[in-house]
A and B are shown apart, each in its own frame.
Chain A
Amino acid sequence: GAGVSQSPSNKVTEKGKDVELRCDPISGHTALYWYRQRLGQGLEFLIYFQGNSAPDKSGLPSDRFSAERTGESVSTLTIQRTQQEDSAVYLCASSLEFPRAFEAFFGQGTRLTVV
């Protein structure tokens, strides 16, 4: 597709369940980012990928969170044993590799609600 695609757009899960969030970046974009946005809050950095490797995982809130990327394309963010504080919109963005281009393009996000 022409833009960054995230699925599902909405996810309601029970506390303690695992969830997987998917991001399809723009074709050819080697950099991929995950952010979390709680209601009414700013963007919280989670992780970014350069190709299939993640140089910076410092933003992952706990060991319940993990992410992977394959084929320099699709990325999956997995949250295990979800907690209510995980409820947020999870945003994915992609960009060409620095310094070829500078801006990142965002998907519409996945709204996760843990009940």
Chain B
Amino acid sequence: GDSVTQMEGPVTLSEEAFLTINCTYTATGYPSLFWYVQYPGEGLQLLLKATKADDKGSNKGFEATYRKETTSFHLEKGSVQVSDSAVYFCALRGNAGNMLTFGGGTRLMVKP
């Protein structure tokens, strides 16, 4: 079945540092890929998405590129802020239907 693997946290960075959170997946065909974010005390919300190979999703300074050849969807941000501290989840939706599969989540802590 489908699966998503993302780097374990916590990831601790200083403000304005460069962020990468790795995400790889296993799925048949061409799934859609997502990053969700969960801020402290809040629910999950969609951060960005990509629906086909080579698409780049972007939002709030975050970017991720759908790489079919490496089955990856790494999340990047050039300069993190304290307010980016949250748990980030990589997810996929298989093209065979509606199943939505999540990775284990990566906690990011940004220090001033």
Taken together as a complex, chains A and B put the C-alpha atoms of A45 and B89 apart, in Å, by: 13
A38 to chain B, nearest CB (A): 11
Judge whether B100 and A42 touch: CB under 8 Å: no
Nearest to B101 among chain A residues (CB) is A45
* B34, CB-defined interface residue at 8 Å: yes
Judge whether B89 and A106 touch: CB under 8 Å: no
B interface: dominant SS? strand
Judge whether B44 and A98 touch: CB under 8 Å: no
Judge whether B44 and A91 touch: CB under 8 Å: yes
Task: Bin chain B's interface residue count.
Answer: 20 to 34
Judge whether A50 and B98 touch: CB under 8 Å: yes
Nearest to A3 among chain B residues (CB) is B43
* A55, CB-defined interface residue at 8 Å: yes
**Interface membership of chain B positions 73-111, coded 1 if the CB is closer than 8 angstroms to chain A and 0 otherwise:** 000000000000000010001010111111111000000
**Interface membership of chain A positions 50-93, coded 1 if the CB is closer than 8 angstroms to chain B and 0 otherwise:** 10000110000000000000000000000000000000000101
Known: A102-B51, A103-B49, A106-B43. A55 touches B97 (CB 8 A): yes
* B45, CB-defined interface residue at 8 Å: yes
**Interface membership of chain A positions 85-115, coded 1 if the CB is closer than 8 angstroms to chain B and 0 otherwise:** 0000001010101110011111111000000
Nearest to B33 among chain A residues (CB) is A102
B 29-62 contacts with A by CB, 8 A: 32, 34, 36, 42-46, 49, 51
Contact of B102 among A43, A102, A105 (CB under 8 A): A43
Judge whether B100 and A93 touch: CB under 8 Å: yes
Judge whether A98 and B98 touch: CB under 8 Å: yes
Q: Which residues of A contact B (CB under 8 A)?
A: 31, 33, 35, 41-43, 45, 48, 50, 55-56, 91, 93, 95, 97-99, 102-109
Q: Which residues of B contact A (CB under 8 A)?
A: 32, 34, 36, 42-46, 49, 51, 89, 93, 95, 97-105
